[in-house]
Amino acid sequence: MTHGQAQLIAEAERRLGPKAIITDQQDIEPWVTDWRGRVHGAASAMLAPASTEEVAEIVRLAAELRVPLVPQGGNTGMVAGATPPGDGSALLLSMRRMNRIRSVSAEDRRAVAEAGVVLETLHEAADDVGMRFPLTLGARGSCTIGGLTSTNAGGTQVLKFGTMRSLVAGVEAILPDGSIHDGLSGLKKDNRGYSLDQLLIGAEGTLGVITAVALRLVPAIGARTVAWVGLESPTRALELLRFLEARTDGIEGFELVPQDSLRLVLKHVPNTRPPLSGEHDWQVLVEATTPDADHDVAGELERLLGAALQQGIIEDAVLAANEAQAEAFWKIRDTISEAERAEGQTLAHDISVAVADMPAFLVSASGKVERAFPGVVASGFGHLGDGNIHFHVRAGAHAAPDWYEREGEAITRFVDDLVTAAGGSISAEHGIGQLKRAELARLAPPGRIHALRAIKQALDPLGIMNPGKLVP
Ligand SMILES: Cc1cc2nc3c(=O)[nH]c(=O)nc-3n(C[C@H](O)[C@H](O)[C@H](O)COP(=O)(O)OP(=O)(O)OC[C@H]3O[C@@H](n4cnc5c(N)ncnc54)[C@H](O)[C@@H]3O)c2cc1C
């Protein structure tokens, strides 16, 4: 522990009380490794403030004593953004005690949640007033509003509602000098120059600590239906999406699943079964919803899929007969990564290209990767309608146990080069954190890197906010 850290811990304990300081390494241990278990850090203490004012106190002390802080929510991020450096030079700043929903209003269509509120808790609070917070993802039981905002998370309903950036109406945060930015006023219009709120969304804790967020709510779901569709190619899948979108505004989930992924789920995940009787090279999970409980959304989707079948866009389709079957369809989609892990070593890439380009990109990139690295299986699944695919490369059946360490970097560079050449992004929704920083430095245009560094330097000249993350 450095002298500055010891001083900060002692002073924070004096001002905030013992509850806000954790120094027992057994309690800290689960929080210094990233969710995937790949990056291991170290921290001599975890600070756990319970209010905006307490966060401000800590940040002021950190600035004064030059002690770097690593903000952390649920630690479910995919790029080790919340993992402290391995040399113990930073302290963890856990936001999980700031877990109050300050307000939730159907009339204003708005909730104000503190940074440590777990996504599922917000879902329930919105539901209680007949509303809905429409962003959801697999980690909903542990990821927090602060983490979701800081990574500008996406999820499965982006098609209709956008990422966090579209759903955040304002941010309250502590800036690196300890001052409070209060963006929770609820103003619909505010053009006083640069938007600090927008800068903080997706900043991965490098520009300040988010303490609370105003969030947009939408009316609760009145009825929903989920269909499983078999088709011949990603091109056909995008054609289907456009066909549906031209005829209904109810489509909010549209997830592409290759046959290979379905096969792995059926092999490794208990209690799963193929939704369709025949085999199809590609499938799509379609979810349609309506806030109007009297609207026959299932009948509408059935009719539209029937028309798509007649026009040769799709090969087959089935509608979930009830909620249990709808959940069973989603389970197939949600357990693809788990099934891949059970099958063997897998490299994950969260990439995006322009929506219209994704079908051709996916097919051609898979072929190029498989030719360049014989034996691997390359494939993509996920949010086709957002141009965002989880492009995964699996080791071949006879790969060495250290395949990931030996070949991983070369394969990732190959994939990232293909994405960059296609004008795409090497991080569609997971952020940069530690894991993608070198690739961002290698591939981002000089102007983008210059702007990132200039913004970081202007707001955090002492470099105390989440050092070693995001900014190359
Ligand atoms: C099973 C699973 C499924 C997922 N699915 C998706 C998906 O579909 N789409 C998607 O976009 N992401 C997905 N994710 C990753 C997603 O980024 C995280 O779940 C979530 O956004 C991070 O929230 P968290 O509270 O765990 O943040 P953490 O992991 O704790 O932190 C993430 C980053 O935000 C910073 N941070 C955290 N809190 C604050 C704060 N209060 N102020 C400032 N900075 C802060 C951290 O320093 C770090 O850089 C998934 C993760 C898992 C485990």
CB 333, CB 257: distance < 8 Å: yes
Distance CA 85, CA 74 (A): 18
Ligand 1 contacts (CB < 6 A) are: 35, 70-78, 81-82, 95, 115, 137-139, 143-144, 146-148, 150-151, 153-155, 204-205, 209-210, 429-430, 433, 466, 469
Q: Which residues of 193-227 are buried (b: 16+ CB within 10 A; e: fewer)?
A: eeebbebbbbbbbbbbbbbbbbbbbbebbebbbbb
Ligand 1 pocket mutation pick from 47, 95, 99, 137 by most atoms within 8 angstroms of CB? 137
CA distances from 53 to 172, 179, 209, 251 (A): 11, 10, 12, 42
Per-residue model confidence (pLDDT) at position 98: 98
Q: How far is the CA of 79 from the centre of ligand 1 (A)?
A: 9
Q: Considering only CA atoms, which of 136, 119, 217 is closest in space to residue 169?
A: 217
Do 206 and 221 contact (CB within 8 A), yes or no?
no
Record the pTM: 0.95
Quick one: pLDDT at residue 186?
77
| pLDDT computed for residue 92 by the predictor | 98
Question: pLDDT at position 170, please?
Answer: 96
User: What is the CA(40)–ligand 1 centre distance, in A?
Assistant: 17
Residue 240: per-residue pLDDT: 98
pLDDT computed for residue 397 by the predictor: 78
pLDDT of residue 8: 97
Which ligand 1 atom is nearest residue 469's CA? 49
Cα within 13 Å of Cα(348), Cβ side: 20
* Spatial separation of the C-alpha atoms in residues 220 and 246, rounded to whole Å: 23
What's the confidence (pLDDT) of residue 277? 94
Pairing type for strands 180-182 and 110-114 reads: unpaired
What is the distance in angstroms between the CA of the first residue and the CA of the last residue of the chain? Answer: 26
Predicted local distance difference test score (pLDDT) of residue 398: 82
Q: Which atom of ligand 1 is nearest to the CA of 74?
A: 26
β-strands 21-22, 251-258: how paired? unpaired
Counting atoms of ligand 1 from 1, which one is nearest the CA of 116? 41
Each as own residue / partner, the long-range contacts of residues 412-416 (CB below 8 Å, 24 or more positions apart, any chain) are: 412/347, 412/349, 412/439, 413/439, 413/442, 414/368, 414/369, 414/372, 414/373, 415/349, 415/351, 415/365, 415/369, 415/391, 416/349, 416/442, 416/443
- Pairing, β 69-72 against β 91-94: parallel
Residue 146 CA: nearest ligand 1 atom is 41
- 211-269 residue pLDDT tens: 999 999 999 999 999 999 999 999 999 999 999 999 999 999 999 999 999 999 999 99
Ligand 1 center to residue 75 CA distance, Å? Answer: 7
* Cα 303 to Cα 125: distance, rounded to the nearest angstrom: 35
What ligand 1 atom has the least distance to the C-alpha of 173?
42
Per-residue model confidence (pLDDT) at position 341: 85
Tokens of 264: 């792995």
Check residue 190 and give its pLDDT: 87
**pLDDT tens digits for range 86-145:** 999 999 999 999 999 999 999 999 999 999 999 999 999 999 999 999 999 989 999 999
Decide if 99 contacts 105 (C-beta within 8 A).
no
Low-confidence ranges of the chain (pLDDT < 50): none
Instruction: Report residue 5 CA to chain centroid gap.
Output: 32
Cα of 83 from ligand 1 centre, angstroms: 12
